[in-house]
Amino acid sequence: SAIEAARCDCIQQAACAHVALGVWAFRLADVASPTAASVEVRLGAPATAVRLDPTVYLDYLGALLQHGAVAGMAGSAQALSLARAAATDAGAEWIVATLAVLEDWSAAWAARSVRYAAEAGVDAITELFLRLKLGAAPGRARAVLGIGLPHEVALDRLRLFCLGARTERDGDGRRTRLVLADPDTGTLMALVHDWRVPPPADAAVAAGPEEAARREARQRASERVAPGVKLESLISRQLLSRQARRFADGRIALARAHHSQNSLLPQSGDWEGLTRPLRTTRVADLMRERSRHPLVMARQAAGAFVVFSPARIANAFFDPHAQTVQCTALDAAGAELLITRSHAAEARRALEKLAGALSGLHGSCRHIAGRLSWQGKLPALEPWSLVCDQVISLDDTGAASGDADALTALPLGRASAADDDPLLATLLAVRALLAMLLHHGIRALPPSWPADSQAAVARLRQIGWPALADALAALNEAVREPQAGRLSREFSTLAILRQLHEDALVQAEAPERDRCDASHGARENPADLALD
């Protein structure tokens, strides 16, 4: 309503071409749909279809399946280099990023890193080939392949709220990922900071794990992510930054030249000003967003991170066997969001602090921020931080007085898991078979794999998923009689089809599940369903 108030986060900041384009887009949106809350506007000529040759990527997958992750990176290095060069030449930012994830995945096994998970490789392969198929559709190249996106953008002034942090451990190494929100533009960003815990002296080793925890806490308290910005302080405050750089996937790099370029201010946890897609008060909004699968959207380093403002919290309990605190957050309509957090060594007090927040020890819980996932049709949030009377980060090492008592006061229960749904458990079993094949390769495949795979085929036919059963049977045949290119084609087809079945389980109502597989089986190309 006031053009002089328009703000851009580019280095020019005002009177730039981006402001003019934004005004133009808003005018077109008002004409196209004056009452809609969200409208997509495309400026310029319609985009043409862009198709990347899948052969080079199938060759890379074939090299991975031939040697497996256990053989190291040498067997697939040349194929990976050719695939990356092809994606770089086409300007496909998301394909390049996905290949980087696969390279890091292989390197994690070579380094015997705790970050390695065989299933993560399957997920990355699924994303790679699903993007390749869907990116060939007209108008989808930018969103699905990332073609035309700048790798990085220089920013001028930013005001960022820290919504939460999570630290991963790998030997003496630590990686802390902070999720930051720009309330002015509604943008989610991620700041990744790697740091190390110094090796202990002989006396510290003899002192045991308590001394090791104190040593890590001291190192963490002294860590700086930029001049004048301590890691521990940033987690609970807001950041004013100048001359930062934002990458295509939402990662941000802060300026490191002068202390004056970055400054911290207190944060009160007043997140009511955050709007969608950063914050939501309705579970229905999360369900609606689930229909737009992240595998065919822009990559986001922060992941599926959301802030949920519950109407009330119910059924909080502690599962001592799974070392998990779980509860149900309900919106105003009574729809449920599962809140679940399990114990991790890098955040030893997280469960105590979560219990204290859920029990009302620090006032009523107004906001919960964390990573969103799905347990069947039920959305599940792993909390990273909560806002009660103050911002409570579950990642730091300290705990408030009374939090431990709050944890022991919680009733005991059994935490629900994704494999409680028999249909979803079957899909997870197929994913595990793919992960085993990708991890070992056909040269070192365990003797039990063919029998387990045949049993999964029979199970898929029994529950009424013939298309998925046929795809797994075709992969079994390709493993028994490898042919050039066939193994990688059957693997990628099965990976895509499995993902589409999992998506259909979440999106479809229970009576529609029986019709789900029929729609798959009626199509020769499994990606057609996702295109629809």
- The pLDDT profile of the chain, 532 residues, written as one tens digit per residue, is 677 777 777 777 667 888 888 888 888 888 888 877 677 777 766 555 667 889 999 999 999 999 999 988 888 999 999 999 999 998 899 999 999 999 999 999 999 998 899 999 999 999 999 999 888 887 777 788 888 888 888 887 888 889 999 998 888 888 999 999 888 778 889 999 999 988 876 545 555 667 777 888 888 888 888 888 888 888 888 888 888 899 988 899 988 777 678 888 888 878 888 877 789 999 988 887 776 655 667 788 888 899 999 999 999 999 999 999 999 999 999 999 999 999 987 788 899 999 999 988 888 899 999 999 887 678 899 999 999 988 899 987 666 667 888 899 999 998 887 666 788 889 999 999 999 999 999 989 999 999 999 999 999 999 999 999 999 999 999 998 888 789 999 999 999 999 988 887 766 543 333 333 333 333 334 444 343 3
Do 284 and 254 have their domain in common? Answer: no
Same structural domain, 321 and 204:
no
Same-domain pairing of 405 and 436: no
pLDDT of residue 429: 94
**Based on the domain organization, do 454 and 319 belong to the same domain?**
no
**Is residue 298 domain-shared with residue 406, that is, in the same domain?**
yes
Indicate whether 465 belongs to any domain.
yes
What's residue 529's pLDDT? 39
Q: Does some domain include residue 211?
A: yes
Among the three residues 268, 303, 320, which one is the final residue of a domain in this structure? Answer: 268
SS3 113: coil
The side-by-side arrangement of strands in the sheet containing 157-170 is 187-196, 173-182, 157-170, 237-242, 262-266
Structure tokens at 514: 């029986």
DSSP 320: T
Beta-strand (E) ranges in 404-452?
Answer: none
Report yes or no on 188 lying in a domain. Answer: yes
Q: Is residue 501 part of a domain?
A: yes
DSSP-derived letter for residue 484 is T
Q: Which two tokens stand for residue 496?
A: 């895509």
**Residue that is last in its domain, among 374, 398, 417:** 417
| 280 and 411, same domain (yes or no) | yes
Name the residue type at position 181. A
Q: Are the C-beta atoms of residues 3 and 23 closer than 8 Å to each other? A: yes
Domain that residue 470 falls in: 420-531
Same domain for 359 and 262? no
- 295 and 413 in one domain? yes
Report helix, strand or coil for 528. Answer: helix
Is 408 domain-assigned?
Answer: yes
Q: What is the DSSP letter of 530?
A: H
Q: Confirm whether 146 is domain-assigned.
A: no
The DSSP call for residue 361 is B
pLDDT at 508: 58
Q: Which of 224, 291, 227 is nearest to 263 (CA)?
A: 227
* Contact status, residue 226 vs residue 256, Cβ threshold 8 Å: yes
Distance CA 370, CA 388 (A): 15
Residues 388 and 455 in one domain: no
| Residues 324 and 431 grouped into a single domain | no
425, part of any domain = yes
> Among 356, 385, 417, which residue terminates a domain?
417
Residues 239 and 366 in one domain: no
Handedness of CA 121, 127, 129, 130 (dihedral sign): positive
Residue 306 and residue 370 in contact, taking contact as beta carbons nearer than 8 Å: yes
Looking up tokens 């400054």, which residue turns up? 263
Evaluate whether residue 17 is within a structural domain: no
Helix (H) or strand (E) holding 416: none
Q: How far apart are CA 213 and CA 228, in angstroms?
A: 25
Crossing angle of the two packed helices 466-480 and 513-521, in degrees rounded to 10: 50
Based on the structure, what is the number of domains in the chain?
3
Verify that 362 and 479 share a domain, yes or no: no
Cα distance between the two ends of the chain: 37
CATH of the domain at 304: 2.40.50
